[in-house]
Amino acid sequence: MGTCASAESAAAAAASKDIDKQLKAEMKAIEQNIKLLLLGAGETGKSTVLKQIKLIHGTGYSDEDRAAYKVTVLTNVITSVKTLLHAMDTLKIPFGFDPTSATIEETRDNPLPPPSPFLTVEKMDDGDAQYHTSYCEESEDDIGVGGGGGGGSSCNRQKKEAVEGQLQHKDDSVARAAASAYKILLESETLHTGPVAQAAEVVNTSAIGVIAGKLIPKEVADAISVIWKDIGVQYCFRRFLNDLCRICNESFVPTDQDILNSRIMTTTITETRFKIEGIIFRVFDVGGQRSERKKWAPYFDDINAIIYLVAINSYDQICFEDNSTNRTDYFPTYEGPNDYDNGSEYFATRFLSLNKYEKKIYVHFTWATDTKQIKTVLAIVNQIILRSNLVEAGL
């Protein structure tokens, strides 16, 4: 009997030892995994940051990846030119308008008509082939800072509190001259005549999508080239399609910068993994699942850190859900000059003031398409997380 009991005890001890060993292995695996949650309002560069991570710490982009992005870049070009043409009418800039000949005297009796409030065109990224309407995204856990990741719900809630709720227009003599020329051509029914207008018609009636393995049709590419060479279009957007010939060439293969500048709307939760010094980092982008936040939020209770992106370049844009109010109306307390240093410091202070639970918050200013800057920020984030883990472990 004693021998039997002894054998059973030994077996139980061995089983317990195996369980402990497995638990330790699992704990070690957990400790070697850092989970990051990537958040932010729409169009703040979340997907671009993930692309940067893949370039900096991943394997980069394969030939198959670049072939897929080629379709995206070409589609972006067509979509963007259509947006540009729409913006020309919105901003009341006629084709052929020469800003160098515009003077205040030419337009003294022609006040600048206000641009249509439903569209505010902003540049997404330097050299980007995509412009878009600026808007605040709907957000269930809105923190109430309009234009800085606050969200559309903030725009609506604060609508009554905003100062007048109207866009403020600068007394721009060149813009007044453009509007005057636009009005004259419109009244004479010659606004949409000429080679540039004909090229615009070709683009506007073309399909937006580009089939994989195909190029932009030659007649559309030629029309885009004609449009881009127009001096009025150049005034509307000073940097835009400078690489058009390269992109429309049959041998075009997207560069890393082309991929960073390309725009694909995120519609699913994505995970990007990379390894630094033996530690696996898992970055989750839930940008495409904003309306389902209550469903996915509980799955991220064990997140080590949150990277929250804010596009401060859209501080003076209008909100899509409240298209008569400029975001600057939500910051009546700001009395500083209209420059980067003072503006960025103001927004950083506003965000830090929302820290109710004394969480550690680190603010970094960067440019999503600048790989060197993003690499520096990621290195700092990595050091902060590792240092925090060492402190928690009592080391």
Task: Pick the closest to residue 268 from 285, 293, 283, 288 (CA basis).
Answer: 288
Residue 46 annotated as binding site: yes
Q: Name every residue whose Cβ is closer than 8 Å to that of residue 161 and which is 6 or more positions away in sequence.
A: none
Residue 43 annotated as binding site: yes
Q: Edge-to-edge strand order for the sheet containing 270-276? A: 270-276, 279-285, 33-40, 305-309
CB 109 within 8 A of CB 268: no
Residue 110 annotated as binding site: no
Residue 92 annotated as binding site: no
Residue 289 annotated as binding site: yes
Residue 392 annotated as binding site: no
Q: What is the 3-state secondary structure (H, E, C) of the chain?
A: CHHHHHHHHHHHHHHHHHHHHHHHHHHHHHHCEEEEEEEECCCCCHHHHHHHHHHHHCCCCCHHHHHHHHHHHHHHHHHHHHHHHHHHHHCCCCCCCCHHHCCCHHHCCCCCCCCCCCCCEEECCCCCCCEEECCCCCCCCCCCCCCCCCCHHHHHHCHHHCCCCCCCCCCCHHHHHHHHHHHHHHHCCCCCCCHHHHHHHHHHCCCCCCCCCCCCCHHHHHHHHHHHHCHHHHHHCCCCCCCHHHHHCCCCCCCHHHHHHCCCCCCCCEEEEEEECCEEEEEEECHHHHHHHHHHHHHHCCCCEEEEECCHHHCCCECCCCCCCEHHHHCCCCCCCCCHHHHHHHHHHHHHCCCCCCCCCCCCCCCCCCHHHHHHHHHHHHHHHHHHHHHHCCC
Task: Pick the closest to residue 69 from 84, 87, 48, 95 (CA basis).
Answer: 48
Residue 44 annotated as binding site: yes
Residue 58 annotated as binding site: no
Residue 45 annotated as binding site: yes
Residue 263 annotated as binding site: yes
Residue 48 annotated as binding site: yes
Q: Which amino acid type is present at position 74?
A: L
Residue 39 annotated as binding site: no
Residue 144 annotated as binding site: no
Q: CA 47 to CA 266: how far, in whole Å?
A: 7
Residue 266 annotated as binding site: yes
CB 360 within 8 A of CB 383: no
Residue 2 annotated as binding site: no
Residue 262 annotated as binding site: yes
- Specify binding-site residues for GTP: 43-48, 260-266, 285-289
- Specify binding-site residues for Mg(2+): 47, 266
- Specify binding-site residues: 43-48, 260-266, 285-289
